[in-house]
Amino acid sequence: DQQVKQNSPSLSVQEGRISILNCDYTNSMFDYFLWYKKYPAEGPTFLISISSIKDKNEDGRFTVFLNKSAKHLSLHIVPSQPGDSAVYFCAASGDGNAGNMLTFGGGTRLMVKP
């Protein structure tokens, strides 16, 4: 049973517009959530994270929102740029140390068109 789900395998957005990537989870013990970005032929790179004690975390063009009651988080990229085109993975952890036992979603491929 997949505990972290990204139901949209792909998303296409025009440059300058907002990209919204969604992630749902089922395990109520998860308390730390991360987004990773992956280019082809490279390993994932850490993008942004959020603890369950918060409902929003912002870093430049990237904002992550957490809705604990709905077990849902989203990543907003504003404005989207062609260089943002990549696969985005949502991940969740069951304790305060994000390095422990991350459970990943299946990824969403974002394509930002010039």
**Residues near other proteins (CB under 8 A):** 2, 4, 9, 32, 34, 36, 41-46, 49, 51, 89, 95-102, 104-107
In the complex with other proteins, the residue whose CB is nearer, 43 or 114, is 43
Contacts of 43 by beta carbon, 8 Å cutoff, 6+ apart = none
Please state the closest distance from residue 44 (CB atom) to other proteins, in A.
Answer: 5
Please state the closest distance from residue 105 (CB atom) to other proteins, in A.
Answer: 6
Please state the closest distance from residue 20 (CB atom) to other proteins, in A.
Answer: 20
In the complex with other proteins, the residue whose CB is nearer, 40 or 114, is 40
Residue 92 contacts residue 68 (beta carbons within 8 Å):
no
Contacts of 33 by beta carbon, 8 Å cutoff, 6+ apart = 23, 25, 49, 50, 52, 64, 66, 73, 90, 91, 92, 93
In the complex with other proteins, the residue whose CB is nearer, 69 or 97, is 97
Residue 104 contacts residue 44 (beta carbons within 8 Å):
no
